[in-house]
Structure 1
């Protein structure tokens, strides 16, 4: 089989030691280990910027010996080719051919002193005769993208894993987070069938630092986590997840650092044009959604320009029974009057439970009833676009100046139609306990009421509309300059996002006796024996209008950054092991500003409440819910109901001139400034016959925070009531973060890698902010805490990596982290006699509200685990398997952390799954390719209900497929499927016999066409 390699610097590796002038000085690069010649040339290409054209079939692919770092490229080539019968020849300043010594005699010339240095996917230079080199360019190869990812992993001094353009863009992904889920140790959080946030090694998403083109990314979430669903994977060129930091990294991230790169014009040699289009069909919504993207790039002389654009629409329906959470009996027992007395009597009569002290929450919170059963249909319409632009000036291989821009928008409209029964209504109490469970959770002293009739359940029909618009933008200018033994690079940039969330809820309520119970997969509400009970799904005349609730939130998230780095190659007689040093500084200025308001409409005009308790659901325009949303019947149950559509609600209840006003008391702003400096050294030495490469350094980080907002104070004039008074507070902290990374090549292709570091993750800006959020149904306030400090971690990792021919890799590593200062919500006070109103403005009662704040928890906890990787072209096992391969990884975690349960119920950290693994089987030849991918995420805690009861998301697995066929060398048709087995999503509270969720999002099938020129 003929094999032609084009080796180039298409993927710029951010190694600590960068290259110096290839003509005049030695290069400060990683040592090139012994390996087949094609892979050695690939490594040299990345390190120097040279491009190699080489036919392995014509010239052979001999094994080379290890070459120490610090040699000029010509000396490296001479040592690589010594004894092979091959020679090198410069065609111009950046292109080198490797050919047999018996070829037509042309001297192995020294490199020319002038010329351009494109550093992208190589193709032939204009002065090279095609018949002499017999060269073609191979594009769109999945196996080649895996090989490039392995090359990046091998060359990086730190623990890392990567995916590159073909792998990112050519799999059935809906967004960038889903593209990342196939990387070792990376899992994603799913929301109604769509990947959203990214977890690295099972740690919470806010423990992961994310940057695009070396600039920390804003997504409008207000936290440190990035909402990856706003980014289209088609405009991304490369993603590296770095799991052990170096001192040069802006933030290490306790879980890791996701480094995203977009394309630049000199990534390609000359003109490049790619266009693709597809249609995707969702099995539940029965809608077909379009998506298209293109990339255009060209270079002329010293200049290059690139633009890319992607636009996609997605209409996805999700059917779900949910909201079936635990509710503590303190809800009824702490109520004043006969409701509490009746609850205590029924408990003793029907379950034999005697309540000793109704105000002792340690007792009453261990008696559980079902909070709510909701039957819900969601329809999510998304309109997403993203674009990048890059203008690059590169007069030589020693200097480049690049302007990068990335802009986009992510607009969603989600309609939720909810028929629910709220057992814990303020009017209700226990009537009859039909079934209770005092054994399943008896070790926690808990009794669960499985099947109960209630005196006045709050039955609800809710038509909810969520409109979210996110606009993001990022601009940066980067300079890379090599002069003599010095390398200087600098960056200035801006990253920002603005998110607007408009929420509305048309609420109709009917109070009546009913019976609510757990079923095998979820829960249900049915009529009780009380003659006043009714069929909640088919009695619209019983439901009274309560309110058309609206909220409006606007968040701006901005970050400015400036950075400069210096690297110098060294050749010290007294310390020959020190090959280079690097130092630099960075300054960032980040801010988050939030406006929020709420207003309920209760009549046809401002201040009018004439519709309350007079207008019924039957007075609205009603349709069967399965007709309002596209698709077929409701999947979890044999059930249908009539409801008012959100379109009708908006037209009917928003009177002319209505706006939701912002509330000054809900405003806050957080400003954060960070200045940091670092220094590190790169070492190359031998221990016996084993070459060792090490990087050691430290980063000093100084942070100042200003949090501003409003807080309620007693009216200063002595009158009753409260006033929102402006408040602000400053905070600061500093940290010294050392790091050490090293590799040792124990034998040919066998690499021992080790790392140790200290790192941090800053608290979310929303947690720092001055604000008070009320949860009226939970009887609690949540305050911000400007005094929060970062969460810190000490960590180390050791691993073995075996690099095989043709891009194969077997790797195993063990990692350990000690994390302290974890941010938790804790009870910090109580506000007595808080007035609580119903949605219609009537008095519900006066209650004591708990005040919770995020605090840095005392003590520390450990997380450790193992990570296994197998990436194997199966042709290495037998010739008949040519074209087949596997790409698999497995991560196993363990932790000493217990959760935040106020009842002391042990639980792992929120979001941490003990086991995750991915397996992809692929086949490809010159025309056809096929891939089947299976990913699995073990069960994990997704939240702590009422700060007491861990709510678990069940283990989830998914099968995705991709099939492609090249109609021509440049045009490819593909068929892709997401969740082809149509798996449901389920969850439970504490034990699977208490389900909380039974949800279907369907499968997604797409057909696409791609042209590459």
Structure 2
């Protein structure tokens, strides 16, 4: 792979490498920190060499390393929330490695909490307290103590995080109210590719939480981190045998049932790790979950027309009329398989090597019955007229998988520490030949609707009769998307002194290459009589299996897939292939990212100043196809673009004491456009004299953000945290979808839908957290634990368009940004049982701008509040029985058009209850 870096960036890196100590005859100190009683590692503990004011945070395996130490006597000080402070005298000799083990005793409790929800909170807070940036950590025990089936659902418990759901299941993660595509996701230091054909965001439901050790969310980035994260960077860390000192085994089996479909679903998981010959660790995790469930939906797609009147009693919206209403009933099967095998090898005291692997497979089989009624002109509520109703069936299977292999290590020399890593990751999504839509049409009199919030169809009896509907068209499709990501990186660091002040310098480089491709083929079978299909075979009665079970109102007859396939197989596929749709959605996008950085920090008494500069060079090569329906010609489209970004950063951390930390940060980050936005394909059509265009925009600029953060953290007791933070983001080039018809180059077009860069956006917010263990209360209340957080964000974005010779503007919220996200968990945990009740809330957010000059047509996703419960009984010290309740209040998904009164989509999922048993030898 080629790597081109500006001379100035390389010079900075070489200057850092040229820093050296006064002499090469120096010593090293290596050690580990353990719990006095359990002998287990205490990750996140802070170790300080008192005489040098040199501090380091203990790694996940409990180890720490200091290199380049001069001969002499030193005092080691160790602190860990929930443990009594400790110190120990040591001696370091030149050209030798001093080994030391530090054990910590509990402070005011029987033992240091390292397991269970309380132990997980303690580890998370220790890791957060010692970090150089603003960091939130969720450990494996937290992941297992909530009714969360995947990583995304677990992350909704983190301050400032919420999730986007699909069919009621958490999939994508939002950080500080911002969309998933504005955040990055890595696993074991490697960026995960996305199986989604058009996105960068990784749907984290494909990675089971049973395979993990922890998840870290960085809300401020240091220069040694990839810069493409506006909201935050999510780092997933998988199991390692050295996370524990002995053999580890975790077995669980579970059944679940939802109230909408009453299906019973199994889940099995096993995690195992062990250490062989004291230097080889092997960890294995396997998780399998097979779920049958469904959802009921009614949507308008935002097809409202607002008629201005003198009586604007609905926030200026006046009367409203609706163009169409669509009832949908989904039946879904989702099967997840996750396998992780990890090796750690310590060939010497100075070298650690590792190999991490992940295989995740996600099979989604979906059957959707739809009944859509459309009127020739917009219809007001309770008014009846002639309408066209289409009953449709969509039946498809999609397979997504992610495979990731990363190999690397750390070598510690006399003065320097070298970290190195190489990775190969692929993600794919395949939809084999599937029924993308089979439409049965009826033209009915006296149809209408009532209720603009959750619309219901008003229809005659014929609406529910199979003989009123005739097969009109069948669409068959296949699709394949693939995302391949290769990267190589190294980091070189060392510690030294500048006078009386300890200093650390770090430099490194990273090369990554990414290839994203999408292929789709479509066959549209129309004019069926002309192809020999009989009148009898066109009647819905030949394909219906009875009325659909639909909770929102009466639905009417459903459609079965099997007899439709008989019709399809009798017809000529080549004649019915849609050459246009089979071409314009295909693309290949190749992306090159070269990066280099230099950073360092200096400790001046209680203040750590960390600063640095990162350079990232981005290049894109996109290829696709367009079709001009007026000339009837296809065209190949090839575009290249590149960007260079210099990204400085400054982090200030003032540790007033072991329990109080003040942080400030100035950082610069970027977000690259999604692949769907960059796709070069286009379609130009003409109908009834109107020209309609839809196209991607390969020339979009990346979002750039200047970020300011200020936070204060105070830790108290064994498990206690009170923190408050302020943040501000100044964003250039934010991206939104818009119709440019009638403006600029598209002044004669009826529609011209694409993606454009907005002018600017500003986001600011407040983030609050409160964690409290109530050990000071009398029994049994002393077992209560509260974990809560709230994030408030506000934004102002500006969009503009041409209206003749005028440039018009209006302000909108930042797309996909919620003003409020909040989480509340109240738990009771002792040696016999634990019970946790939790709530996750996010406020409404702008989903899409559909008309530039009319805010009444902006689509919003409504507020969402979900309550969950988990109760666990410890039958023995190793065996537990648990019960989980998900979405206890049956919270629906709702989106609206400009005003909550006007439906865009309403969908309900029911409640889910889980019963399981777990064995842990830990």
Query: Shorter-normalised TM-score: what interval?
Result: 0.7 to 0.9
Residues 555 and 594, structure 1, Cα contact 8 Å, conserved in 2? yes
1:469 pairs with one of 395, 399, 417: 399
2:769 pairs with one of 852, 865, 869: 869
The aligned counterpart of 2:74 is 75
Deviations 1:824-847 (A, max 9, x none): 234456799x9xxxxxxxxxxxx9
* 1:952 corresponds to 2:832: no
User: What is the alpha-carbon distance in structure 2 between the residues aligned to residue 555 and residue 117 of structure 1?
Assistant: 52
Q: 1:69-218 residue pairs with structure 2 within 5 A?
A: 75-77=74-76, 140-218=115-193
Deviations 1:921-940 (A, max 9, x none): 01111121110001111122
User: What is the alpha-carbon distance in structure 2 between the residues aligned to residue 238 and residue 788 of structure 1?
Assistant: 35
* 1:991 corresponds to 2:910: no
2:634 pairs with one of 724, 742, 766: 724
Q: 1:316-355 residue pairs with structure 2 within 5 A?
A: 316-323=293-300, 325-328=302-305
The aligned counterpart of 2:732 is 820
User: What is the alpha-carbon distance in structure 2 between the residues aligned to residue 694 and residue 41 of structure 1?
Assistant: 20
> CA shift at 1:615, angstroms?
4.4
Instruction: Please state whether the residue corresponding to 1:146 is helix, strand or coil.
Output: helix
Distance 1:962 1:889, change over 3 A: same
* 1:584 corresponds to 2:508: yes
Distance 1:590 1:608, change over 3 A: farther
Residues 798 and 814, structure 1, Cα contact 8 Å, conserved in 2? yes
Residues 476 and 492, structure 1, Cα contact 8 Å, conserved in 2? yes
> CA shift at 1:979, angstroms?
0.7
Q: 1:483-882 residue pairs with structure 2 within 5 A?
A: 483-501=413-431, 502-519=434-451, 521-527=453-459, 534-573=460-499, 576-577=500-501, 579-602=503-526, 609-611=531-533, 615-626=537-548, 633-637=549-553, 639-655=554-570, 663-686=582-605, 691-712=606-627, 721-747=631-657, 749-772=659-682, 780-828=692-740, 849-858=750-759, 860-876=760-776, 881-882=781-782
Residues 899 and 909, structure 1, Cα contact 8 Å, conserved in 2? no
User: What is the alpha-carbon distance in structure 2 between the residues aligned to residue 979 and residue 776 of structure 1?
Assistant: 47
User: What is the alpha-carbon distance in structure 1 between the residues aligned to residue 501 and residue 608 of structure 2?
Assistant: 9
Deviations 1:148-200 (A, max 9, x none): 11111111111111101011133101321111001000011122211121111
1:269 pairs with one of 235, 245, 262: 245
Deviations 1:765-806 (A, max 9, x none): 222221125799998432122212210001101011101121
The aligned counterpart of 1:972 is 880
Residues 522 and 996, structure 1, Cα contact 8 Å, conserved in 2? no
TM-score by length of 2: 0.84
1:1006 pairs with one of 891, 914, 917: 914
Distance 1:479 1:72, change over 3 A: farther
User: What is the alpha-carbon distance in structure 1 between the residues aligned to residue 397 and residue 149 of structure 2?
Assistant: 20
Instruction: Please state whether the residue corresponding to 1:805 is helix, strand or coil.
Output: coil
> CA shift at 1:661, angstroms?
8.0
Residues 114 and 396, structure 1, Cα contact 8 Å, conserved in 2? no
* 1:915 corresponds to 2:846: no
User: What is the alpha-carbon distance in structure 2 between the residues aligned to residue 937 and residue 911 of structure 1?
Assistant: 11
The aligned counterpart of 1:453 is 384
Gaps of 5+ in 2: 1-15, 33-40, 49-55, 312-316, 803-807
Instruction: Please state whether the residue corresponding to 2:552 is helix, strand or coil.
Output: coil
Residues 28 and 70, structure 1, Cα contact 8 Å, conserved in 2? no
User: What is the alpha-carbon distance in structure 1 between the residues aligned to residue 454 and residue 534 of structure 2?
Assistant: 33
User: What is the alpha-carbon distance in structure 1 between the residues aligned to residue 761 and residue 838 of structure 2?
Assistant: 34
Gaps of 5+ in 1: 1-15, 30-37, 54-66, 91-107, 125-133, 330-346, 354-364, 434-448, 528-533, 627-632, 715-719, 835-846
Instruction: Please state whether the residue corresponding to 2:226 is helix, strand or coil.
Output: coil
The aligned counterpart of 2:8 is none
Residues 28 and 97, structure 2, Cα contact 8 Å, conserved in 1? no
User: What is the alpha-carbon distance in structure 2 between the residues aligned to residue 39 and residue 727 of structure 1?
Assistant: 56
Distance 1:79 1:959, change over 3 A: closer
User: What is the alpha-carbon distance in structure 1 between the residues aligned to residue 163 and residue 422 of structure 2?
Assistant: 31
* RMSD (CA atoms): 4.0
User: What is the alpha-carbon distance in structure 1 between the residues aligned to residue 79 and residue 881 of structure 2?
Assistant: 41
2:346 pairs with one of 386, 394, 418: 394
* 1:896 corresponds to 2:796: yes
User: What is the alpha-carbon distance in structure 2 between the residues aligned to residue 934 and residue 776 of structure 1?
Assistant: 51
* Greater strand fraction, Structure 1 or Structure 2: 2
Distance 1:366 1:854, change over 3 A: farther
> CA shift at 1:368, angstroms?
5.2
Aligned length: 853
Deviations 1:417-441 (A, max 9, x none): 1122012xxxx347xx7xxxxxxxx
User: What is the alpha-carbon distance in structure 1 between the residues aligned to residue 586 and residue 599 of structure 2?
Assistant: 43
Distance 1:928 1:543, change over 3 A: same
> CA shift at 1:85, angstroms?
12
1:377 pairs with one of 329, 349, 354: 329
Instruction: Please state whether the residue corresponding to 2:607 is helix, strand or coil.
Output: strand
Instruction: Please state whether the residue corresponding to 1:753 is helix, strand or coil.
Output: strand
> CA shift at 1:326, angstroms?
2.8
The aligned counterpart of 1:294 is 270
Distance 1:235 1:490, change over 3 A: same
The aligned counterpart of 2:366 is 414
The aligned counterpart of 2:57 is 47
* 1:227 corresponds to 2:203: yes
Residues 679 and 697, structure 2, Cα contact 8 Å, conserved in 1? yes
> CA shift at 1:276, angstroms?
1.0
Residues 545 and 614, structure 1, Cα contact 8 Å, conserved in 2? no
> CA shift at 1:998, angstroms?
3.2
> CA shift at 1:879, angstroms?
6.2
Distance 1:482 1:773, change over 3 A: farther
Residues 383 and 412, structure 1, Cα contact 8 Å, conserved in 2? yes
Moved more, 804-813 or 848-857: 848-857
Residues 370 and 516, structure 1, Cα contact 8 Å, conserved in 2? no
> CA shift at 1:74, angstroms?
7.8
> CA shift at 1:571, angstroms?
1.8
User: What is the alpha-carbon distance in structure 2 between the residues aligned to residue 270 and residue 612 of structure 1?
Assistant: 71
Distance 1:311 1:776, change over 3 A: farther
TM-score by length of 1: 0.77
> CA shift at 1:876, angstroms?
3.9
The aligned counterpart of 1:242 is 218
* 1:24 corresponds to 2:34: no
Residues 883 and 923, structure 1, Cα contact 8 Å, conserved in 2? yes
> CA shift at 1:503, angstroms?
4.6
The aligned counterpart of 1:445 is none
Distance 1:27 1:394, change over 3 A: closer
Distance 1:52 1:598, change over 3 A: closer
Residues 558 and 590, structure 1, Cα contact 8 Å, conserved in 2? yes
